[in-house]
Amino acid sequence: MRMPVSTARVRVMHVASSSIGWALDRNALMRPLRAFVGVACSLVFAEASCTQGPVSPYPDRVGPNQAIAFLHVNVVPMDREVVLTNRTVLIRDRKIEWIRESDASIPGDAIRIEGSGRYLMPGLIDAHVHARRSDMALYRAAGITAVRNMWGHDGITQLKTDVESGGLPGPRIVSASPGVDGTPVQWPFTQILEDATLARQLVHRLTSEGWSFIKVYTNLPASAYDSVLAAAHDEGIEVIGHVPVRVSIEHALASGQRSIEHLMGYDRALSASHSNGTFGWADANPAGFAPLVALTAAHGVWNCPTLEIYKKLAEQQGGSARERMIQNRRAFVKQLSDAGAPLLAGTDAGIDVVPAGFTLQGELEELVAAGLTPFRALQAATMRAAAFIRLDKTGTIAEGNRADLVLLSGNPLDNIAATRRIAGAVFGGTWLSAEALAAHVQ
């Protein structure tokens, strides 16, 4: 029920976690998926070992206090579109100490991992998730070393603490605030803001709580939206999220919203019926793409299009409408990329539509299907994602960078599907083989 304006205040909507799917501990429901991932990872490990010639068995795990030397690997640095062939990479103290030709002298204390021509690239970043404790191993199995959580709450704070302390294996977590929204409330922990004069107080509190971004959501009134943007600017914190239905995409782009999720706002502007979401893209007018793309690029606004989950959501449409929706979204993303408007790769995992983990590989494949090169698609999940969420010395392979790495049995710049062929991964200096990664999700 909407409260009268005279009594509206900044409020936190708490919904019992037992009634919210993404807040549940869903171990029983996830068990079949974990079994599938475990089998898939084991098969990938076996395939990689059999197709690359004779190799020494990988150690299942090497801890962060032990030096590691990758021998005879092809390095995909991701700061430029190149493969550095036949390199040795030394990791020590959780960092990349050096990258040299493979005849380099290897320290005697280093554990050797024979690459046999496999491809070493930066760890992947899923830039749109709703992080859950039960999903942490699934992210790691997919080579995801960091995530951007898109809805903050106390459980996320504890989850981050547990991961950062080493008590829980998982990707690093950078989190937005709880969503700032109007009524009706759609999610737990919503920060309800219908009185624009209270925006500064709310933004200051959320910033003080340590969230990395302020997230705005669908039903936020236009006046409150403007006040949040102004207050966030003064606090030095960026605003990300949905474009509220009472705010035009043109206004959002000009107002300084830093990232737009799911291409929201564009849908209403392009739809002949002014519809939202999948329905909006089903009757979108491609003739209107170019002006909005140009405006997005001019303002330097980032987009996280979440193509893979919207392809799943498109199943609610009939055959021809479904195909139009998918193709229109792909075409719009391709124009954004061509215009230089930055993109992030994200899945929206954690709300029980698509699973955590390898859905990010599906998102990368969707970006390539949209017309991006594999390199451009991978940038959205490595270098550019790390820059956006401000993970220093992350997202590229370079001396001095944090050792967050994935070892693949194929070249991802030739075929984006190679990102599924994971032989192992390094998380902050800790190596886990594909078999060890699989064991953690069973």
In DSSP notation, 272-311 reads TT---HHHHHHTB-GGGHHHHHHHHHHHT-EEE--HHHHH
The amino acid occupying position 269 is: A
Residues of the chain with pLDDT under 70: 1-57, 442
pLDDT at 441: 79
Map tokens 């690239």 to a residue: 121
Domains and CATH numbers, the chain: 27-122+406-440 (2.30.40.10)
**Composition of the chain by helix, strand, coil, percent to 5:** 40, 20, 40
- Give the pLDDT confidence score for residue 271 in this predicted structure: 97
> What's the first-to-final CA gap in the chain, in angstroms?
43
SS3 47: helix
What local confidence, expressed as pLDDT, does residue 442 receive? 59
The residues that bridge with 363 in the sheet, in sequence order, are: none
Helices 199-208, 222-235: crossing angle, 10 deg rounding: 40
What pLDDT score was predicted for residue 44?
A: 37
Q: What span, in angstroms and rounded, lies between the C-alpha atoms of 198 and 10?
A: 7
Which amino acid belongs to residue 60?
Answer: D
Amino acid (one-letter) located at 226: D
CB-side exposure of 177: number of CA atoms within 13 Å? 28
